[in-house]
Amino acid sequence: MATRVHGKDADFSFNGQTIESELSSITMNAAAPEAEITAFDDVWQNYLAGKKNITYDLTGTLDMAANSAEQAIVEQVGSGNVTTLFDITGSGPNTNDPEYTCTSSGLTGTLVRSVSITMPVGDKAGFSASLQNSGATTRNVTP
């Protein structure tokens, strides 16, 4: 039986700081870039899967207060890896309820690729961030 969830309860932790109260969108992208291995004698193109890759795209409301999500993320631009935790339902890991963790250790962890601040004339001030996981991202379903 399918288990459906609403996005409103998602939790996101960045470097040990919970920031979901300032986020309006969390997108996790999982990919494995392909390499073409087609030979001249092949009738069809052939590909091999590359290494797995996880990225996050975050969007939120700009909060200029100390300890804000924007501040936490901007301070890590170019500073190396941090630990991130994405809990889809906000109720912790369980069967059919995974949470994804990328732990900072040596070369692994999450890097901040970019941060943008948006100041539209007719809408709320916002920010967006693109994060790149380095190394393993664990999918935990153990209560």
Q: Hey, where are the domains in the chain?
A: 7-30+50-140
State pLDDT tens for residues 9-51.
Answer: 999 999 999 999 999 999 999 999 999 999 999 999 999 999 9
What is the rounded average pLDDT for all residues in the chain?
93
In this prediction, residues 113-126 reach a mean pLDDT of: 96
* Percent share of the chain, pLDDT over 90: 81
In this prediction, residues 92-112 reach a mean pLDDT of: 92
In this prediction, residues 90-115 reach a mean pLDDT of: 92
Confidence label for 143 from pLDDT (cuts 50, 70 and 90): confident
Write down the pLDDT at residue 1.
60
CATH of 7-30+50-140, one of 3.40.50.720, 2.30.30.20, 2.30.110.20, 3.20.20.140: 2.30.110.20
pTM score: 0.88
Task: Determine the Cα angle at 47 with ends 139 and 30, to 5°.
Answer: 20
